[in-house]
């Protein structure tokens, strides 16, 4: 404490902090070069915290000049000693390559200098268009009519089709990541786990992706079985889970862990066998899990007649 009261020491400390900030900020700007120029975040006024994700907090903010509302996502920098988080860079690149009514729009990137409030580390923020609701909360509050449910699904599938057309896997489709604006337009959001698909140069060695994706209740069987060569169907499984949730008003498979989730899928859709899934026997997790066999499909018994009529 005595050192902090010494003027020369404080000046030296502040100089070091400024040097660290300049180095870090310059590196981040270099990594962001070609993507977007960052602007000061103080042009926005924080109104309330509206979300907390794996990769950062989200706030509702108001632009000081235009008075418009936006969603401000703070990028978590705590684990980054140097440079900019690769997950955030990937999210930014993907979002800035997309332009579709049903995909949330990234407006700009902002920064704030280091201070006592942020642990003397520069902070970076993504500014998105603001949407009033997410589908998870809205479906609990409102009994959607059949036409509205169908309109929601049409928009969702249109957005997913656009992503896949542009070789983007979302990898975390769930009701909480589906936003609805004040005009009823659906927006697919939260691209923190998204990535572009890469074609393998060798057909005998398809591209491998991480298995640490997709929220458990919306996770498809191939990822639960640790198949690292998955593709666009993982998003379609998530869209199907969201569709069922629209009619049942709750996630239809709420497992406690991966094996529990697999068992719930089997009890609904039937046993996983090489006959219906050629090649599944090559997955080590499938061989070790000893999943129940001879389980028949129970979709008709467990889902509502109206939902089944839509499927048929």
Residues annotated catalytic, as ranges:
172
Beta partners for residue 57, in sequence order: 52
Helix (H, G, I), strand (E, B) or coil at 134: strand
Q: Tokens 């929601």 appear where?
A: 152
The vertex-250 CA angle with 244 and 255, nearest 5°, equals 95
* 106 in Cβ contact with 160 (< 8 Å): no
Nearest to 138 by CA among 99, 91, 177: 177
The rounded distance, in Å, linking the Cα atoms of 208 and 293 is 28
Query: Residues 19, 75: contact at Cβ < 8 Å?
Result: no
Instruction: Return the number of other C-beta atoms located less than 10 Å from residue 299's C-beta.
Output: 14
Classify burial at 42, counting beta carbons within 10 Å of its beta carbon; exposed 0-12, middle 13-18, buried 19 or more: exposed
Instruction: Answer yes or no: is 81 a known binding residue.
Output: no
Q: How many CA atoms lie within 13 A of 38 on its CB side?
A: 23
Longest dimension (CA), the chain: 77
Enter the tokens of residue 76: 């978590």
CA distances from 131 to 17, 18, 45, 128 (A): 37, 37, 17, 9
What count of residues does the chain have? 312
Single out the residue of 59, 118, 55 nearest to residue 91, CA to CA. Answer: 55
Binding site listing for ATP: 73
**Residues contributing to the annotated binding site:** 73
């Amino acid at each position: 404490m005595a050192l902090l009261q010494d003027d020369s020491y404080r000046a030296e400390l502040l100089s070091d902090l400024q040097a660290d900030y300049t180095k870090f900020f310059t590196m981040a700007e270099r990594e962001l070069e070609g993507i977007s120029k960052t602007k000061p975040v103080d042009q926005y006024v924080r109104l309330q915290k509206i979300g907390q994700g794996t990769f950062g907090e989200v706030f509702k903010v108001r632009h000081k000049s235009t008075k418009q509302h936006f969603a401000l996502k703070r990028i978590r920098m705590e684990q980054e000693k140097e440079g900019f988080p690769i997950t955030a860079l990937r999210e930014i690149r993907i979002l800035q390559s997309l332009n579709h009514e049903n995909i949330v729009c990234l407006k700009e990137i902002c920064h704030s200098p280091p201070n006592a409030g942020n642990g003397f580390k520069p902070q970076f923020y993504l500014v998105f268009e603001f949407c009033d609701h997410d589908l998870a909360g809205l479906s609990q509050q409102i009994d959607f009519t059949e036409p509205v449910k169908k309109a929601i699904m049409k928009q969702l599938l249109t957005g997913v089709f656009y992503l896949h057309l542009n070789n983007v896997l979302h990898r975390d489709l769930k009701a909480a990541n589906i936003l609805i604006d004040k005009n009823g337009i659906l927006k697919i959001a939260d691209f923190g786990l998204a990535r572009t698909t890469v074609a393998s140069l060798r057909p005998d060695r398809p591209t491998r992706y991480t298995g640490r994706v997709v929220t458990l209740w919306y996770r498809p069987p191939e990822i639960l079985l640790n198949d690292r060569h998955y593709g666009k169907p993982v998003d379609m499984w998530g869209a199907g889970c969201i569709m069922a949730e629209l009619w049942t008003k709750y996630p239809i498979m709420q497992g406690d862990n991966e094996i529990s989730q697999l068992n719930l899928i089997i009890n609904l859709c039937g046993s996983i066998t090489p006959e219906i899934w050629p090649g599944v026997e090559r997955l080590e997790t499938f061989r070790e899990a000893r999943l129940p066999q001879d389980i028949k499909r129970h979709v008709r018994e467990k889902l509502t007649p109206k939902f089944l009529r839509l499927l048929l």
